[in-house]
Amino acid sequence: MMSGKVYIVGAGPGDPGLITVKGLECLKKAEVVVYDRLIDDSFLNSVPPDAEMIYVGKSAKVHAKEQHEINQILVEKALEGSLVVRLKGGDPFVLGRGGEECEELTANDIPYEVVPGISSSIASPAYAGIPVTHRHIASSFAVITGHEDPTKEISSINWENLATGVDTLVFLMGMGNLPLIVEKLVECGRNPDTPIALVRRGTTLQQEVLTATLSTVVEKAKESDFQPPVAIVVGEVVNLREKLKWFENQTLFGKRVLVTRSRIQASVLSKLLAERGAQPIELPTIEIQSVPDLAEMDKSIQDLPGYDWVIFTSANGVEAFWERLVTLGKDARHFGSVKIGVIGPATAEALAERGIYPDFMPVEYTSEAILSGLSERDIKGCRILLPRADIAPKDLVEGLAKLGSEAIEVTAYLTRPPAGVAEKAKQMLLDGTIDIITFASSSTVTNLIKLLGDDWQVAKKAKIACIGPVTAVTARDAGLTVDIVANEQTIPGLVSAIEEACSNG
């Protein structure tokens, strides 16, 4: 059998945006992924659904697989003819045993490629506002394992030359040996007043930084119960942190924000929150489902030329309607002279992706604004089609009838509570560790309350942020105090409102 191939891929230091383009391309075509501890879950979402996933993570005391076992897995899977991705944190060749794995592959005549990654040795300091070199302060830096066995009779680290011969020292995997590292550096001539920084989970939304001096860091770390994984930075460059720190200065840094949208829709809101330093916690409270009986939808599409207007009140409605339109062998031309209205920019964008631009979009993105805008047009006697969710409120239909038009509502999709929920996110809510709960529709409010059951009042421990006044009314009717309401009823508008509220304290 022809051998497969192994890609030794560096996933970067933790921030999923720091993987290389080539590394991501390897994941997208992988048949087997052998991955480490501390790998961001979003990487695994890029892997083909039928790929085999093998966890081989290691921590200080627990190894899912020993190194010789990992080497054997790579060899066996490649000999089976598979395209294997060995996904490693940071860079494979920076204290990552990637060299050992390549040696084993070479010994077995298995083709492989190395895809370098950004090492935490430079990324963690950078995210903490600490440049490892600086023209006026440090011209050299070294990366050292902090994981060396302290009981070894002879150290493989040249402490005498290292302590005073290099400007900036970065120790990886050294938290357990911090007292020994400090002792050796001072013993070999490093000034006890030298600044030192401990960067925990650098580049991630859980990043924490502790600064001290060599003489005080051990006690301060003990008092703070500072736990690994940690990058240890020693040198005068640490003093630049107060001036240069940027990551933790983001408007929402450290805020845990519950995202209650459907699994498919949650990614957009989560991405915007993460870009501002928040930690999005996804707890989908609704699931978009297809309509079991499509006869009514299909008939409305067949009869589309007989309508004067079609009004879409969500991107989901556009998606569902268009799917049936295509299935019935039709395209945008089928709309003919029918005018199209949308409730807001997200819905308009869903149409634009299909080559259609709406004739009408209100200034405010609410049903009331749609009615106000259409009242200025001559819609008396018009037939108006509304492809919507099964639980959409009736105010728009009733309002159009009062304006003298004939509104025909058709169920384009169903919204249901999800079959399974993220238990970790639910537990965080119960524990009171969520700072903000976001609601992007009334159904997300209703379903979250149902999901929590008798414990629903735990939601009061967090600030409540609603995408608009209608959702806010639903939240208040459910017994919640609404703290934030977006002026612009869009996902970016919701995020902006959260930013503004947090910046004002």
Catalytic residue selected from 36, 91, 167, 435: 36
**Percent helix, strand and coil across the chain, each to the nearest 5:** 40, 20, 40
CA distances from 244 to 128, 154, 205, 367 (A): 8, 39, 18, 47
Burial of 216 (0-12, 13-18, 19+ CB in 10 A): middle
Query: Active site includes 36?
Result: yes
* CB-CB neighbours of 57 under 10 Å: 14
- Using CA atoms of 287, 292, 293, 298 in order, give the dihedral in degrees to the nearest 10: 50
The secondary structure of residue 481, as a DSSP letter, is P
* Strands 256-259 and 436-439, bridge-based pairing: parallel
Question: How far, in Å, CA of 363 to CA of 233, rounded?
Answer: 52
Query: Active site includes 378?
Result: no
Catalytic residue selected from 5, 58, 65, 339: 58
To 5 degrees, how large is the angle CA 6–CA 7–CA 11? 145
The secondary structure of residue 92, as a DSSP letter, is T
The two tokens of residue 26 are: 């390897």
Evaluate the omega torsion of the peptide bond into residue 195 and state whether it is cis, within 30 degrees of 0. Answer: no
The two tokens of residue 342 are: 């949308």
Catalytic residue selected from 15, 91, 167, 173: 173
Contacts of 362 (CB under 8 A, 6+ apart): 343, 344, 369, 370, 372, 373
Catalytic residues: 36, 58, 173
